[in-house]
Amino acid sequence: MLCIYSAKAQVSADSISRIIAAEKQRIIDSVKNVQLQIDTSKIEIEDDVIKAELKKQITSINSQENITNDSKKARIDSLRKTAKGYPVLGVDKDTLFLIYSKIGASTPSDRAATISRKIKSLYEDEFLDTEAIAVVEAEDNFDIVYDETIIMSVSENDAIWYHKTNEELALDLQKTIKESIIKSRTDNSISKILLRIGLALLVIGVLWFFILLIGKGYRRLLKLVDTKKDSWLKNLTYKDYTFLTAEQELQVVLFFLKVLRWVVFIILVYIALPVIFSIFPISRSWADRLFELVWSPFKGVLVAVWEYLPNLFSILVIYFVMKYVIKFVKYIFREIETEKLKISGFHADWATPTLSIVKFLLYAFMFVLIFPFLPGSDSNIFKGVSVFVGVLFSLGSSTAIANMVAGLVITYMRPFKIGDRIKIADVSGDVIEKTLLVTRIRTIKNEIITIPNSSVLSGNTTNYSSEANDKGLILHTTVTIGYDVPWKDMHQALIDAALKTEMVLHEPVPFVLQTSLDDFYVSYQINAYTREASKQAAIYSNLNQNIQNVCNERGIEILSPHYRAARDGNNITIPADYLPKDYKAPSFNVKVNKEK
């Protein structure tokens, strides 16, 4: 059977018009050529000059016709890859050959439909003699005829499409038509139909046998699993957590066995149905369609994967290059963090946050490079989803972005680091975590307070630890003492109390400032240095205790803020442990001045 696969695209209108014009010119030249030959035969022998002139015209016309044919062949060859052929169908709907060109007013599709209809009419003719189907030469074509019926005409254009002469193509198509009719009659005979029914029943029987065999094997397998489940299946655990018990594993195994059985059943039926359909001529196309239902998607997937391999290779190259670039960047920042590599103006504690930023930018750049290679990246759906996600992100993350920006600014401002004792607004404590979004502080009462970075950036931050190790943190407290106590004695008492306090430095030496002279007392501020910024509460408590002790030892009363005392008959304010054992409260003294 002659089968030519159709091309994918339509022939262009311009090319078809040129072929039609060339065909019209060829017909005109052929008619003129015939007329000249008739005129030449009528001229007597003695008119040599006239006969030579007519022969010259005939030669010119033949030459022009050859040029026209060559031009037409060249045009058809250029259209061969994009042309669409219309199939001529046999009785069993199988494609016998394709029609590409028109004849007269008949388009290729009209010609194909007409020829298919005539072949079916011949098949239905009970008295058909296939040997009577013959090829007859017409004026410009070769006709395939039966009795007085012209089955089809083979034109020069048809022959050019098949790279043959008119006569060769006509003989081939005649043979194809005859064999198709004979085959269809043979296939549709009673004996053939009975044979096909028998083959179909045989296939069904084999299918049923395999289904029974698989069912029996499935039951045996279930019995084997039930027998061996105690030795095969154990609890799937990790440390103290059990992911799957043996019973759950058994249920999973049984589920997969059931799914496997049905998959095998479906495969068997899928294989058997095309075989059954292919037995009968009328259902052979069904077999092809059924096969295409699975094969076409599978083939499409394979073709898509194959065509995507260059893009996948590009993605892998980008990924591996970026992977080693990031490794190199990590190495550089690790060296900076450990202070093996020092860069002027770049602090070691900037290494980790800067590495995070650089990694994010590198991954973003990698995604930008990979994005065009992703399947469906240029589709409208993909673009719509990207825009939708972007809008959601922009609407819902304004506060988060503000905190992230604040976190970056705080990182490079370096107002504090992990472990520093700081005060933000009215919150004091040690920094235990610093992220792009929040800063977490542990207070002296073990309270964990989370502060958004935007609040940190917009407020004041006091850092007690930044200078404590080098210059020392100055702790200060104020006491108010009456004017009756000499200030030099008070200065020395406060300095001595500070030097007795644990975690207070002796160098630099503590110092005292008199911050005010009030109505009833003098304000003395003791200032002492310490390196333990995170232990201020304990140091202040110890310092205040020592101030009380020293003042009591030296007979200095802390009379503040307002204290009125009539010493006659009243005890002194110093605790009894610091007073002499024979101390007694003074008696009342009354002094009377008598005027003379």
- Residue ending a domain, among 170, 188, 206, is 188
Element (H, E) at 143: strand 142-146
One domain, residues 487 and 526: yes
Residue 183 and residue 220 in one domain: no
508 belongs to a structural domain: yes
Does one domain contain both 66 and 94?
no
Q: Are 141 and 155 in contact (CB under 8 A)?
A: yes
Q: How far apart are the first and last CA of the chain?
A: 164
Q: Which of 431, 463, 495 is the last residue of a domain?
A: 463
The angle at the Cα of 299, spanning 294 to 301, to the nearest 5 degrees, equals 100
The one-digit pLDDT tens for each residue of the chain (596 residues) are 333 333 333 334 455 555 555 555 555 555 555 555 555 555 544 455 565 665 666 566 556 655 555 565 565 565 566 677 899 988 878 888 999 888 888 899 999 999 999 988 888 887 788 888 999 988 778 999 998 889 999 988 888 788 888 888 999 999 999 888 888 878 777 777 788 888 889 999 999 999 999 999 999 999 998 888 888 888 888 777 888 888 888 899 999 999 999 999 988 988 888 888 888 766 767 777 777 777 777 788 888 888 888 899 999 999 999 999 999 999 999 998 888 888 888 888 788 888 888 998 899 899 889 988 888 777 777 677 777 677 766 665 577 778 878 888 888 888 888 899 999 988 999 999 988 889 999 999 999 999 998 888 888 899 999 888 888 999 999 999 888 888 999 999 999 999 999 999 999 999 999 999 988 888 999 999 999 998 999 999 999 999 999 999 998 888 655 555 555 666 677 777 777 887 777 776 667 776 65
Does 318 reside within a domain?
A: no
Residue 144 to residue 113: CA distance in whole angstroms? 16
Do 250 and 163 have their domain in common?
A: no
Does residue 376 sit within a domain? Answer: no
User: Could you tell me if residue 214 is inside a domain?
Assistant: yes
Do both 109 and 177 map to the same domain?
Answer: yes
CATH code for position 525 = 3.30.70.100
Nearest to 351, CA basis, from 365, 369, 338, 362: 338
- Give the pLDDT of residue 494: 96
The answer on 179 and 139 residing in a single domain is: yes
487 and 425 within one domain: no
**pLDDT at 79 (0 to 100):** 58
Does 49 fall in a domain? yes
Give the pTM: 0.46
Same domain, 98 and 159: yes
424 and 510 part of one domain: no
Same domain, 273 and 225: yes
Residue 232 lies inside a defined structural domain of this protein: yes
In a domain, 363, yes or no: no
Run of H or E including 511: strand 511-517
Please indicate, yes or no, whether residues 204 and 152 belong to a single structural domain of this protein.
no
Distance CA 36, CA 58 (A): 7
Task: State whether 129 and 60 are in the same domain.
Answer: no
Please report whether residue 293 resides in a domain: no
Q: How far apart are CA 272 and CA 292, in angstroms?
A: 15
Q: What is the CATH number of the domain that holds 458?
A: 2.30.30.60
Which domain covers residue 552, as residue numbers?
473-578
CA distance 27 to 156: 11
Among residues 96, 106, 105, the alpha carbon closest in space to that of 172 is found at: 96
- 404: tokens are 């992230």
Provide the pLDDT for residue 501.
Answer: 94
Could you tell me the two tokens for 204? Answer: 């069904």
Domain count, the chain: 5
- Cβ(454)–Cβ(402) below 8 Å: yes
Domain termination residue (choose one: 279, 307, 327): 279
The rounded distance, in Å, linking the Cα atoms of 483 and 518 is 10
